[in-house]
Amino acid sequence: MSDFLHRLPEFLGNHLYLTLAFVGVLIALVVVEVQRFTRGYTALTPAGLTQLINRENALLIDLSSLADFEKGHIPGARQVALSQFDPESKDLAKAKDLPVALVCRSGQTSAQAAQRLKKAGFSRVFWLEGGLGAWAEAQMPLAKGRA
């Protein structure tokens, strides 16, 4: 082990670009993990979302367009277009202390909406990581139509 430590400065000096790349990746990884722990909302897997809905009767909001919602959505979800999504609305204000789960097609839009809900003072905010694609891939049920 001491031989390794004695030769480490020589290795780092001879492989400067490799060392810089390693340090850059390490810093990026640390930043991403710190952001994940401090963002205030939680990513869920399809199984985790199912548990949240079944155990805590979470409010499930689908941010897909109406056409996409009618093609397939999680049973019990309420469709709200992103353009109409307002965390300060009177309807959502009633659910500030309830678990609120957000879903979209890919998971990107729902993550942004989750951040908006958290800033608006919602205490329990969740989003389906991977969106409806992850839900379908996990072979979970999809409802079609408006209801």
Specify whether 54 is located in the same domain as 73.
yes
What gap in Å lies between CA 69 and CA 79, rounded to an integer?
A: 7
Q: Residues near 132 by Cβ (< 8 Å), separated by ≥ 6?
A: 64, 72, 73, 74, 103, 104, 105, 142
pLDDT of residue 100: 93
| Global pTM value | 0.73
Q: CB neighbours (10 Å) of residue 122? A: 21
Which domain does 118 fall in, by range? 41-137
- Per-residue pLDDT for the chain (147 aa), expressed as one digit of tens each? 788 888 988 988 899 999 999 999 999 999 988 876 767 788 899 999 999 999 998 999 999 989 999 999 999 999 998 888 888 887 777 778 889 999 999 888 888 898 888 888 888 999 899 999 999 999 999 998 875
Confidence at residue 107, expressed as pLDDT on a 0 to 100 scale:
84
For residues 29 and 87, membership in a common domain is answered with no
Q: For residue 146, tell me if it sits in a domain.
A: no
Residue 128, helix vs strand vs coil: strand
Residue 38: predicted pLDDT: 67
The CATH number for 80's domain is 3.40.250.10
Give the end-to-end CA distance of the chain in Å, rounded to a whole number. Answer: 65
pLDDT at 147: 59
Domain co-membership, 14 together with 57? no
The per-residue pLDDT for 5 is 86
